[in-house]
Chain A
């Protein structure tokens, strides 16, 4: 234990300054940081004298604040995304928004801000859900301008590391791409294999590109098999079409705050409406199984792992590795390598 006794009021004061909103009253902070389960905690329920921090500090929970805050965060984040990804469909904006505002991401941000030490909940350690809810409730308490700053300062920097193709992963990107290009006047869309190496090895690579009208390369990418490579190339082509490239400059900090984001409240175009009715614009679901690979070695390895190992099991030397270990180099003496030299005893 580091500090013998933490002072809740001081911690709240410091937290207010850390998050950039010191003007908000302590009661509002306490309400935002109190989870509904707190009042079911045994020592709080029975009014124990030194329950830390006790129920006498605040007796309201953050249920409705969570809903309000969630809406506010989502609104501002979508406005920011629509400003930067103006050519992208609304489905992608919504996918990115829901990913960046899900429990895991918000709980990570919250723990770095120190919310985990301030949240009042029944469970310990604080669950991801409670932590994320506390962050949303804080957004519910803040003014509109402050929520905009919150989004720009804490949530938006994560865009630096995310992969847009992973977050908005279409089930059939080539069909969508074909549809969109045809609506722009392209007649021929074909995937072509550019390179291949190591077809029958453990790590084959195929580089495929999608060509429009036999001349223009709209997107290229690599993959372990031709099907995967074409899929990745189609995804790359769609991202390129929507102007989402790795050299895109995103606005951060003051530069982002000075942009009039309120003007971007209208949703972007919908991909489902833009494509013809037959095209599959659904997302890849998590439960899709990987198609059987046409790679011999991978098949053999997987067969051994799934079929043979399940029946025969692992060898003793693998299961009981610690019993077969003769010790580290320092423990093994190598005495047997040095043969004794005979001396005459005079």
Chain B
């Protein structure tokens, strides 16, 4: 009889994978491709391919979108090339290629026309960088404004010529105020 029967469960694998920083779970700071937006903002989306089936019911929303909304979107964004590709017996999808070379695909199966236009709008606003879990809610181009703290930054200069151990640097510091300090801080009126 085996000592501990080993059963593969998805939960511990999923929990373990959450701690990883590669594979299908990224955590990172926000990144801008090619300093976009510092001087000029260029739309990072280069081309969109709208794939749909001319016959099947899952492509109905996509077909309606192409008929009604696609023209207007193309006119408003002249820097993006839009391809409409009919493919037989396939799921409708939207593929977007970005300036950093990455391609994103959204499966538009059974989506209505409004859902498709929402997704298209999302793809137009993205930069092509992968969706990441934010390491922190703040991110900046400059790592430090005042200069990064090092153990040396606020070292008292007196310590330079001191032979350690020295009594004055070995004093115990505490936030608790002593009686003398209290009276000095709040002198009696």
Q: Decide if B126 is an interface residue (CB 8 Å cutoff).
A: no
How far, in angstroms, from A195 to B156 measured CA to CA in the complex?
11
Interface size class of B (residues with CB under 8 A): 35 or more
A194: Cβ under 8 A from any B Cβ? yes
Q: Are A157 and B81 in contact (CB under 8 A)?
A: no
Determine which of A3, A20, A197 lies in contact with B83 in the assembled complex, contact meaning CB atoms within 8 Å: A3
Name the distance in Å between A251's Cβ and chain B's nearest Cβ: 9
Roughly how many angstroms separate A108 CA and B33 CA in the complex, as a whole number?
10
Give the CA-CA distance A18 to B103 in the complex, in Å: 18
Asked if residues B49 and A195 are in contact (CB atoms below 8 Å), the reply is no
Report whether A114 and B49 are in contact in the complex, using a CB–CB cutoff of 8 Å: no
Whether the pair B78, A17 counts as a contact (CB closer than 8 A) is yes
Q: What per-residue 1/0 map shows which CB atoms of B157-178 lie under 8 Å from chain A? A: 0001000000000000000000
What are 14 of the A-B contact pairs (CB < 8 Å)?
A: A2-B49, A2-B95, A3-B49, A7-B81, A14-B78, A112-B99, A113-B42, A152-B40, A153-B39, A154-B39, A158-B35, A160-B35, A247-B145, A335-B2
Q: Is the CB of A17 within 8 A of B35?
A: no
CA distance in complex: A20, B42 (Å): 9
| A contacts, CB < 8 Å to B | 2-4, 6-7, 10-11, 13-15, 17-20, 22, 108-109, 111-114, 117, 149, 152-154, 156-158, 160-161, 194-195, 197, 205, 207, 222, 246-247, 252-253, 256, 333, 335, 338, 340
Contact status B40-A20, CB under 8 Å: yes
Q: Are A335 and B85 in contact (CB under 8 A)?
A: no
Tell me which residues across on chain B come within 8 A of A14, comparing CB atoms: 46-47, 78-81
Q: Pick the contact of A11: B2, B34, B78, B81 (CB < 8 A).
A: B81
User: Are B49 and A157 in contact, with the CB atoms below 8 A?
Assistant: no
Question: Are B34 and A18 in contact, with the CB atoms below 8 A?
Answer: no
A114, B99: Cβ atoms under 8 Å? yes
In the bound complex, residues from chain B placing their C-beta under 8 Å from that of A11 are 47, 81
Residues on A with C-beta less than 8 A from B46 are 14, 18, 114, 117
- Provide the bound-state CA to CA distance between A14 and B100, in Å: 17
Pair A17/B79 contact, Cβ less than 8 Å: yes
Judged by a CB distance under 8 angstroms, whether B187 is at the interface is no
Query: A13 — nearest CB in chain B belongs to which residue?
Result: B78
The smallest beta-carbon distance between A256 and chain B, in angstroms, is 7
Q: Is the Cβ of B85 less than 8 Å from the Cβ of A3? A: yes
Please judge, given known A-B contacts A3-B49, A14-B80, A252-B39, whether A112 and B100 are in contact too, CB under 8 Å: yes
Which one of B42, B43, B101 contacts A111 once the chains associate, using CB atoms below 8 Å? B101
B62 to chain A, nearest CB (A): 17
User: Does the CB pair A157–B38 fall under 8 Å?
Assistant: yes
Cα A108 to Cα B100 in complex, Å, equals 10
Q: A4-B85, A338-B4, A340-B3 are in contact. Are A156 and B42 (CB under 8 A)?
A: no
The CB with the most chain B CB atoms within 10 A, among A7, A18, A246, is that of A18
* Cβ of B184 under 8 Å from chain A: no
Evaluate contact between A207 and B100: CB separation under 8 angstroms. no
Q: Are A205 and B152 in contact (CB under 8 A)?
A: yes
Query: In the docked arrangement, what's the CA distance between A4 and B79, Å?
Result: 20
C-alpha spacing A192/B141, complex, angstroms: 33
Docked-complex contact A112 and B33, CB < 8 angstroms: yes
**Which residues of A sit under 8 angstroms from B141, Cβ to Cβ?**
160-161
A18 touches B43 (CB 8 A): yes
B15 to chain A, nearest CB (A): 13
Closest to B37 in A: A157
Q: How far is the CB of A247 from chain B (nearest CB, A)?
A: 8
CB atoms of B160 and A194 under 8 A apart: yes
| Known pairs A2-B103, A153-B39; A197 contacts B152 (CB<8 A) | yes
The answer to whether A252 touches B152 (Cβ under 8 A) is no
Q: Is B118 an interface residue when CB atoms closer than 8 A count as contact?
A: no
Q: What B residues does A161 contact at CB under 8 A? A: 141
14 additional contacts (CB under 8 A) given A154-B34, A253-B40: A3-B83, A6-B83, A18-B43, A19-B42, A108-B34, A109-B34, A112-B44, A113-B99, A114-B46, A154-B40, A160-B141, A194-B160, A253-B38, A338-B3
Q: Considering the complex, which residues of chain B in the window 134-162 have a beta carbon less than 8 Å from any beta carbon of chain A? A: 141-142, 145, 150-152, 155, 160
Interface string of B45-82 (1 = CB under 8 A from A): 01101000000000000000000000000000011110
CB contacts (< 8 Å) of B95 on chain A: these are 2-3
Is B11 an interface residue when CB atoms closer than 8 A count as contact? no
